[in-house]
Amino acid sequence: MAHLLVAGGSLGGLMAANLAARAGHTVTVLERVAGPMTGRGAGIITHPALEEGLRRCGMARDFALGIPVAGRVTLDGEGRELGAMDLPQVLTSWSRLYQLLHGLLPQLPQIEYRQGVAVQSVEQAGDRVRLRTSAGTFEGDLLVAADGIRSAVRQQYWPGVQPEYAGYVAWRGLVDEAVLSRGAHEAIFERFGFCLPPGEQMLGYPVAGPGNGTRPGERSWNFVWYRPAPAPGRLQQLLTDADGVLHAQGIPPNKVSWREVAAMRADGRRLLAPAFAEVVEKCAQPFLQPIHDFISPSIVQGRVALLGDAAFVARPHVGMGVTKAMQDALALADALRDHGATPQALQAYSDQRVPASRAVVLRSRRLGAYMQACGRDGNTAQPRDALAVMAETAIDPDQANFSEETPHERTATQTIA
Ligand SMILES: Cc1cc2nc3c(=O)[nH]c(=O)nc-3n(C[C@H](O)[C@H](O)[C@H](O)COP(=O)(O)OP(=O)(O)OC[C@H]3O[C@@H](n4cnc5c(N)ncnc54)[C@H](O)[C@@H]3O)c2cc1C
């Protein structure tokens, strides 16, 4: 059996380590963040492939992944229902998933999970991989780089592969169920809700609340509001804190300028259905994420493989980030089983995952382009079809029967051209 090094101890790193350890390998996970990892991220959409993968990671058959909703609803700016559909789905949160995966570590003594260790560079010599880190050198048979969108390992081997800014940001946040009015609760809380101001998209859904509570009254509502922010001007403004400091690589939640938060809330009152406006008003700390994506031509170099967001990032409209990381981890585990801990195994992993991940990124770009084009600059000639948006957002492409180009995508392409 082999020794695997895993760079990054978030969801992707934990999935890969778990599955390798269950196959009998020993694993050292190196995570840059020291101390508790809770309090990161917000809502996560799940798909059946994620749930099935978590069972392969050792979760009980009836484990509680998150909060089930029965369907979706779209409201107009006045709060009137534009459409609704049945679409059962389970919504969860980053911290719930981290709690589940991290909670399995005591069952797996083959995994050493080390925090406060930053991976700096990689060397491959013969059939060994050597990692230079802030805590010294580590050696293993293979390296799995699950170190996220700005992966240090990807920068070393593929410096030309850089995240591309999509031209819009997502305002995100959570609000406790208990503080919402009855009207807002009835309008959206138990559903996956949408609101479609021109060229923008607001969506949200219930997730586990503070302390991962999933019972009624203990939950939170997670919102994601996509808004245009052309680079460099408007994007830089948003990434600049109230003291004038620019956070070009991403602004921490507590640094987002109070002036921008106030302006966003005022826009919410003007553009969104009252229930959504209330959510953004009552969210104590909205945060901001510029939307990026990228496609990697290759994700394997000898004994080094990229996984999760280090390998590919799709825009969040497909809601596939975590499921894609799980699909990577499962494909890697199968390749190690079939070929041993060898470069051939990593090549088989890459052959499977590069085309599949590429298709997910392209689909998310089409959904993003449709959102940006419709109703933009007062162009109300192309109002979005609420049913199409609800039917196609955050659906696993493998689970849905889409034609490659749906009618509304053709419209979007024509509008953009
Ligand atoms: C607006 C938005 C909405 C989203 N919504 C969804 C959704 O609904 N559903 C969904 O599935 N996904 C969603 N995602 C994506 C999802 O959050 C990620 O795809 C997922 O968390 C990928 O996990 P990962 O482990 O690959 O990377 P990450 O979670 O980024 O983890 C990388 C880890 O590596 C560590 N690290 C980084 N550099 C080093 C280093 N040099 N040495 C050691 N450690 C290092 C980091 O500290 C981090 O813990 C969304 C993303 C955005 C921006």
Closest-lying ligand 1 atom to the alpha carbon of residue 147:
34
Q: How far is the CA of 375 from the centre of ligand 1 (A)?
A: 31
Q: CA-CA distance, 367 to 188, in Å (whole number)?
A: 23
For 366-389, the pLDDT digits (tens) are 999 988 876 655 555 455 788 889
Q: How far is the CA of 40 from the centre of ligand 1 (A)?
A: 10
Task: Output the pLDDT for position 380.
Answer: 52
Residue nearest ligand 1's atom 27 by CA: 148
Site residues for ligand 1, CB cut-off 6 Å: 7-13, 30-33, 41, 44-45, 118-119, 146-149, 152, 170, 172, 224, 289, 308-309, 316, 319-323, 325
Task: Output the pLDDT for position 139.
Answer: 98
Task: Output the pLDDT for position 375.
Answer: 60
Q: How far is the CA of 227 from the centre of ligand 1 (A)?
A: 21
> How far apart, in Å, are the Cα atoms of 46 and each of 57, 125, 396?
16, 39, 9
Q: CA-CA distance, 25 to 19, in Å (whole number)?
A: 9
Q: How far is the CA of 10 from the centre of ligand 1 (A)?
A: 7
The amino acid that residue 45 corresponds to is I
The amino acid that residue 213 corresponds to is G
Task: Output the pLDDT for position 378.
Answer: 54
Task: Output the pLDDT for position 416.
Answer: 25
Q: Which domains does the chain have, with CATH numbers?
A: 69-88+165-292 (3.30.9.60)
Token look-up 């049913």 returns 387
Low-confidence ranges of the chain (pLDDT < 70): 38-41, 374-383, 399-417
Best mutation site among 5, 92, 147, 312 for ligand 1 pocket (most ligand atoms within 8 Å of CB): 147
Closest-lying ligand 1 atom to the alpha carbon of residue 119:
42
DSSP state of 188: I
